[in-house]
Amino acid sequence: MIRFIKYLPILFILTSCWKEVSPNINISVSGYVVDTVKNKNIKNVKVVILGYKYSICLLCFNHQLYDTVKSIRTNDNGTFSMSFITNGKSDAYRIVVDRPKDDNYTLTNIEKGNKVELKVGNNANIRLQVREFTKLKAHVKILNNPYDTLYLDMNFYNKYQDNAFYKKHSIDTTITFNVLPMSKETLQFSTWIKSKNYELWSLTLDTITLKMDDTTFYSKTINILQLKKE
């Protein structure tokens, strides 16, 4: 009990550091979403305003999500503008970037760039960051496949896991998948082959060097009967 009393002044200071945002205040927000790697604004990015409540435990001070206030997507110029009226139930508001699973961008490796705390009367020209995917198109032909299944080894931004498709003994298809454009980044394009006795072995097709272009095309023909196990 004595220890708790000692911390009361600190708790008093913390609780006096904020006030609930008053109701019926019209807050306007505008800004843009940029990919700093490609050095361009990104269109069709989902931007969301969230309301938060402060919570206090002993010597801790946390934001707890209270409600989703409003959302919008950036226009063709990568900019956004919206407004809302406060309801008096939130202690703070943040504007953040959301990423629905099928959108063409990610928040990966963005530190403190995809959210901004809003302040009453000072919310113009807000800068948010995302990383836009590059679409890598791979034309793959696989000939003389004696195995039951072929597995395509892809990065975690993709969900191309239709293994039944690879049960065909001859494949001629174009696959489009997502990669992050970064200088001197390489992507290893490979397959996993399972033999009839369930032995797994890796087959590296090639190593692709990514460029800063919006679209990179790659083509490869594989004749499995001419390959040897690694």
pLDDT digits (tens, 9 = 90+) for 48-89: 999 888 765 545 455 576 788 999 999 999 999 999 998 888
Whole-model pTM: value is 0.73
pLDDT in tens, 29-44: 999 999 988 899 999 9
Same-domain check for residues 171 and 191: yes
* In a domain? residue 14: no
Q: What value does the mean pLDDT take over residues 173-178?
A: 82
Domain CATH number, residue 32: 2.60.40.10
Mean pLDDT of 13-30: 71
What mean pLDDT do residues 103-125 have? Answer: 80
User: In the predicted model, what is the mean pLDDT of residues 147-175?
Assistant: 66
CATH number for the domain that contains residue 152: 2.60.40
Residue 17 lies in a domain: no
> What is the 3-class SS of the chain, one letter each residue?
CHHHHHHHHHHHHHHCCCCCCCCCCEEEEEEEEEECCCCEECCCCEEEEEEEEEEEECCEEEEEEEEEEEEEECCCCCEEEEEEECCCCCCEEEEEEECCCCCCEECCCCCCCCEEECCCCCCCCEEEECEECEEEEEEEEEECCCCCEEEEECCCCCCCCCHHHHHCCCEEEEEEEEECCCCCCEEEEEEEEECCCCCEEEEEEEEEECCCCCEEEEEEEEEHHHCCCC
**Residue 218's domain spans which residues?**
134-226
Mean pLDDT for the chain overall: 76
